[in-house]
Amino acid sequence: MTIATQESDVLDRVATGLFIGGEWVEAEGGRTLVVRDPSTNRVIKEIADASPADGVRALDAAVAAQASWAATPPRERGELLRRAFDALIARREEFALLMTVEMGKPLAEARGEVGYGGEFLRWFSEEAVRITGRYGTNPEGTGRMIVSQRPVGPSFFITPWNFPLAMATRKIAPALAAGCTVVIKPAELTPLTTIAFVQLLEEVGLPKGVVNVITTSSSSTVSAPIIADPRLRKLSFTGSTEVGRKLIAQAADQVLRVSMELGGNAPFVVFEDADLDKAVDGAMIAKFRNIGQACTAANRFIVHEAVAEEFARRVAERVRAMKVGRGTEEGVQIGPLIDANAIAKAEELVADAVARGASVRVGGSRVEGEGTFYQPTVVTGVVPGSEILRQEIFGPVLAITTFTDEDDAVRIANDTEFGLVSYVFTEDLARGHRMIDRLESGMMGLNVGVLSNAAAPFGGIKQSGIGREGGPEGIHEYLDTKYTLLPL
Ligand code: NAD
């Protein structure tokens, strides 16, 4: 079967409706939205475009299913997730192709995301049966203290376009494990993978109303009434800090529990004692994975002046050899950016850096023709104050600035309102440990360029977010702690 036939088969199988109360239904008034392939800009699917009333209907369904899902034995909740994991891995190729077509990432990376996204299903299938509490005597010796954990309740998820599968499973799996029902609104640019994943959940026995999906081109008007509804108990958002701030403000009216996975501006610090082979390998993955469109993407390469030129030479050589093209083509490492705005942003940031004195070593412009492609780029000699050091680039541009000593490196690395992840390359163990304490971020890669793992707590500090996804911590985002006292 040709790749084109496989693509159309995969796209044909994706449902076109909203998923509410276990039924696939049309949006109010039969409204639809179109989804495009960013590598060609062609329409690949037309799906339901939910109204605010559709959103509230989805919440009605989640509320109706909450009590019985919370009462479902943890083992059964876990086994549903485990069946979903097995089914997803068995259909890895289909899900990878769908993601590549709607989002643009190279097929090899899409396969990796199926593995990564799937691991949240497996991990939380195992965590569902480990929700525990405490029992003890109070210090006065007059009472018995019981601490138990209850599901938070109906939860609303808003997810971004850059990791269409993993951002959905990272929220749905812990919520289901904890006994919470869900309404999920995927990004309008890449909604198909979430729809296909929920079809898979349905096939492996998802009870009606436990997960509901609304796709819409009017994110804010559809989300606002759900967030304002007193029956909602939890809002979990992954996306930009700008939108996250607005959602926190809306959530404040209900004093809603929130989890926020927001933007980043990751420093990638290369000390003079670093193993440069490791640093270059780490840089390539930390920068160019997902075409640079990751919240964890290295945004600022802060390199000791003694090794900066050699580091730049080596990364430039690797970047020059990268293959740009449609993600389905063999050997492609750089697919399209998500849309024309992303191209414009990369162009503006590079132009600003160059105007302030930086040099473009490789790339530096868009690729003319169909689709939204930008060349993988290396910019050296970036001076403090450049916009490229302040904003999330979200594209395949590797920007290098230099430092002179450790205090200087720490000051530059922490000079941002973000605090998601930092990367440090050094062969000095004591220095590595000092960096764990000194760098202001929720996560750190020490001599590694990629660190996400379902067994680890993913999340940021400062304006990069609130809460953690994955690890033993992940399920607590969906549990309330209850303390009970009874006489001894
Ligand atoms: P975005 O904030 O524009 O959109 C994210 C989601 O929010 C989409 O579903 C969108 O439709 C919806 N949305 C937008 N405005 C809204 C509003 N006013 N009310 C309700 N919903 C609204 O972000 P994006 O462009 O899709 O994703 C890129 C951003 O996501 C980057 O900043 C990136 O760093 C961040 N991100 C963070 C993580 C993390 O885990 N920290 C992971 C992936 C992406």
CA–CA separation, 75 and 337 (whole Å)? 42
Query: Is the Cβ–Cβ distance between 180 and 478 less than 8 Å?
Result: yes
How many angstroms separate the Cα of 274 from the Cα of each of 285, 447, 456? 17, 8, 26
Give residue 2's pLDDT: 83
Q: Is 124 in the pocket of ligand 1 (CB under 6 A)?
A: no
pLDDT band at 48 (very low <50, low <70, confident <90, very high): very high
Query: 407-425: per-residue pLDDT in tens?
Result: 999 999 999 999 999 999 9
Nearest CA to ligand 1 atom 30: 239
Q: Is 261 in the pocket of ligand 1 (CB under 6 A)?
A: yes
Give residue 359's pLDDT: 98
Q: Is 238 in the pocket of ligand 1 (CB under 6 A)?
A: yes
The one-letter amino acid at 82: R
Q: Where in the chain is the domain with CATH 3.40.605.10?
A: 3-262+464-485
Give residue 3's pLDDT: 83
- The topology (CATH level 3) of 3-262+464-485 is Aldehyde Dehydrogenase; Chain A, domain 1 (3.40.605)
In the reported structure, the alpha carbon of residue 261 is separated from the centroid of ligand 1 by a whole-number distance in angstroms of 9
Task: Using a pLDDT cut of 70, give the percent of the chain over it.
Answer: 100
Give the atom of ligand 1 at the shortest distance from the alpha carbon of 159.
9
Q: Is 187 in the pocket of ligand 1 (CB under 6 A)?
A: yes
In the reported structure, the alpha carbon of residue 243 is separated from the centroid of ligand 1 by a whole-number distance in angstroms of 7
Give residue 170's pLDDT: 98
Task: Name the CATH superfamily, with its identifier, for domain 266-453.
Answer: Aldehyde Dehydrogenase; Chain A, domain 2 (3.40.309.10)
Q: Is 443 in the pocket of ligand 1 (CB under 6 A)?
A: no
Average pLDDT, rounded, for the chain: 98
Give the atom of ligand 1 at the shortest distance from the alpha carbon of 250.
19
Give the atom of ligand 1 at the shortest distance from the alpha carbon of 295.
34
Cα 437 to the chain's mean position, in Å?
25
CA–CA separation, 62 and 128 (whole Å)? 19
Q: What angle do CA 54, 60, 62 make, to 5 degrees?
A: 110
The one-letter amino acid at 113: E
Tell me: pLDDT of 1 over 80: no
Give the atom of ligand 1 at the shortest distance from the alpha carbon of 186.
9
Cα 185 to the chain's mean position, in Å?
14
Query: Is the Cβ–Cβ distance between 71 and 207 less than 8 Å?
Result: no
Query: 255-310: per-residue pLDDT in tens?
Result: 999 999 999 999 999 999 999 999 999 999 999 999 999 999 999 999 999 999 99
75 closest CA partner among 179, 200, 183, 206: 179
Nearest CA to ligand 1 atom 12: 219
Give catalytic status of residue 180 as yes or no: no
CA–CA separation, 107 and 334 (whole Å)? 10
- The residues pairing with 45 across neighbouring beta strands, listed in sequence order, are 35
Give catalytic status of residue 127 as yes or no: no
Q: Where in the chain is the domain with CATH 3.40.309.10?
A: 266-453
- The residues pairing with 367 across neighbouring beta strands, listed in sequence order, are 373
Name the pairing type of β-strands 32-37 and 443-446: unpaired
How many angstroms separate the Cα of 270 from the Cα of each of 420, 422, 437? 18, 11, 17
Query: 125-177: per-residue pLDDT in tens?
Result: 999 999 999 999 999 999 999 999 999 999 999 999 999 999 999 999 999 99
Reduce the secondary structure of the chain to three states and give it as a string.
CCHHHHHHHHHHHCCCCEEECCEEECCHHHCEEEEEECCCCEEEEEEECCCHHHHHHHHHHHHHHHHHHHHCCHHHHHHHHHHHHHHHHHCHHHHHHHHHHHHCCCHHHHHHHHHHHHHHHHHHHHHHHHCCCEEEECCCCCEEEEEEEEECCCEEEECCCCCCCHHHHHHHHHHHHHCCCEEEECCCCCCHHHHHHHHHHHHCCCCCCCEEECCCCCHHHHHHHHHHCCCCCEEEEECCHHHHHHHHHHHHCCCCEEEEECCCCEEEEECCCCCHHHHHHHHHHHHHHHHHCCCCCEEEEEEECCCHHHHHHHHHHHHHCCCECCCCCCCCCECCCCCHHHHHHHHHHHHHHHHCCCEEEECCCEECCCCCEECCEEEECCCCCCHHHHCCCCCCEEEEEEECCHHHHHHHHHCCCEECEEEEECCCHHHHHHHHHHCCCCEEEECCCCCCCCCCCECCEECCEECCECHHHHHHHHEEEEEEEEEC
